């Protein structure tokens, strides 16, 4: 048995594993796309990594193809005429294509540009790899996931178990911020984060941290706000240079690893933003049991504290507006 040395929580693996999987990254040349492709390419459950971007990714593909993993990195695909070749036989498609925020912008301010990008990529996925699991990173996630769902629905190939908004960065941050505050190990904490992926729609369930930790109400308020505004913290720190890329690549690689492990039959529990009926809004992020076909079971969010119940009530109308905006755009 070997273990990947890059520090990600990839499981130990057998050198004679026979499972093979193709993953495509759309937007592979970007700030997230490049480190994400690097981390995915190191995943032992991968057999083929296909990189796509509207800009030339040949250099990136060549660079990655020199790493001594057992996976094969496909030559780059640039330009929409090459999307078919990239997507063909993909079991997982990860989408970080699109503009990032600058200081002063909300994620919703990205809608006008990114909705079109995601819609066109979703149309290609629905056509060339309709049964793939699609993991959407592009913001505003609260609206881009409904767009993908609507495109798949219109093409007659929608399977709600397989379309995901990646919210893993929220759980990664929640673990790190709690661990830093309380002086505990960030790698062994579990903090569920539910709702959506922007501002008040991000709701960390600090009453459900495991192993159990005691937090004062002031600590709960300040941690909740920090987790909700962590994306803006990075956007402001980068001062016009974009938003989170490295931490997002780490989180995106963790989520891809979860899909890869679930795909080969391991039961995996992960939070993600999917079509859901556990609240009155159509898409919601919560803990999910994942299996080979995607979501096997929605695990809900257990009993909330009074503080969390208030926050949940407050976030639902905003999340619903974001969802409606995405669904309406996706129908076009």
- Rounded Cα distance between 89 and 105, Å, is 37
Annotated binding site for substrate: 101, 107, 139, 173
CA 24, 30, 32, 38 torsion-angle sign: positive
- Rounded Cα distance between 122 and 108, Å, is 19
Comparing every residue's Cβ against ligand NAD, the nearest one is 30
Can you tell me whether residue 183 is helix, strand or coil?
coil
Annotated binding site for NAD(+): 27-33, 53, 114, 137-139, 248
Per CB under 6 A, 174 contacts ligand LMR: no
Annotated binding site: 27-33, 53, 101, 107, 114, 137-139, 173, 248
State in angstroms the smallest separation of the CB of 158 from ligand LMR. Answer: 25
19 has catalytic annotation:
no
Q: Please work out, in degrees rounded to the nearest 5, the angle formed at the alpha carbon of residue 39 by the alpha carbons of 188 and 120.
A: 115
Alpha helices in the chain (DSSP H): 33-41, 58-64, 83-87, 111-128, 141-154, 168-182, 217-228, 230-238, 246-263, 306-330
**What is the footprint of ligand LMR within residues 218-257 (CB under 6 A)?**
231-232, 234-235, 243-244
Q: Is the bond into 145 cis (omega within 30 degrees of 0)?
A: no
Q: Which of 19, 66, 190, 197 is catalytic?
A: 197
Per DSSP, what are the bridge partners of residue 135?
94, 164
* The entry of ligand LMR, ligand NAD, none that residue 234 binds, CB within 5 to 8 Å by partner kind: ligand LMR
State in angstroms the smallest separation of the CB of 95 from ligand NAD. Answer: 8
Please report, as ranges, the residues that interact with ligand LMR according to CB under 6 A.
101, 107, 139, 169, 197, 231-232, 234-235, 243-244
Please report, as ranges, the residues that interact with ligand NAD according to CB under 6 A.
26-27, 29-33, 52-55, 96-101, 110, 114, 117, 120-121, 137-139, 141, 166, 169, 197, 242-245, 248
């Amino acid at each position: 048995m070997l273990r990947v040395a890059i520090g990600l929580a990839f499981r130990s693996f057998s050198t004679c594993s026979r499972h093979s999987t193709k993953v495509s990254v759309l937007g592979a040349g970007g700030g997230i796309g490049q480190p994400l492709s690097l981390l995915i390419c190191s995943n032992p459950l991968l057999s083929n990594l296909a990189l796509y971007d509207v800009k030339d990714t040949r250099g990136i593909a060549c660079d990655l193809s020199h790493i001594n993993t057992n996976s094969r990195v496909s030559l780059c695909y640039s330009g929409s005429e090459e999307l078919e070749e990239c997507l063909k036989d993909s079991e997982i498609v990860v989408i970080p294509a699109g503009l990032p925020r600058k200081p002063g912008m909300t994620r919703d301010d990205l809608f006008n540009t990114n909705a079109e990008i995601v819609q066109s990529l979703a149309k290609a996925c629905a056509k060339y790899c309709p049964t793939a699991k699609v993991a959407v990173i592009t913001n505003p996630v609260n609206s881009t996931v409904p767009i993908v769902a609507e495109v798949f629905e219109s093409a007659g190939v929608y399977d709600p178990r397989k379309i995901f908004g990646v919210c893993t960065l929220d759980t990664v941050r929640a673990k790190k911020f709690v661990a830093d505050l309380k002086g505990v190990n960030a790698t062994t904490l579990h903090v569920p984060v539910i709702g959506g992926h922007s501002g008040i729609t991000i709701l960390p369930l600090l009453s459900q941290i495991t192993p159990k930790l005691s937090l004062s109400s002031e600590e709960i308020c300040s941690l909740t706000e920090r987790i909700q505004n962590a994306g803006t913290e990075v956007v402001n720190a980068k001062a016009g240079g974009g938003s989170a890329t490295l931490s997002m690549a780490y989180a995106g690689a963790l989520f891809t690893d979860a899909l890869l492990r679930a795909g080969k039959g391991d039961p995996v529990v992960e939070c993600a933003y999917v079509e859901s009926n556990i609240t009155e809004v159509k898409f919601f992020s919560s803990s999910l049991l994942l299996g080979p076909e995607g979501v096997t079971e929605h695990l809900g969010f257990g009993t909330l504290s009074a503080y969390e119940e208030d926050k949940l009530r407050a976030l639902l109308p905003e999340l619903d507006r974001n969802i409606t905006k995405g669904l309406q755009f996706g129908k076009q």
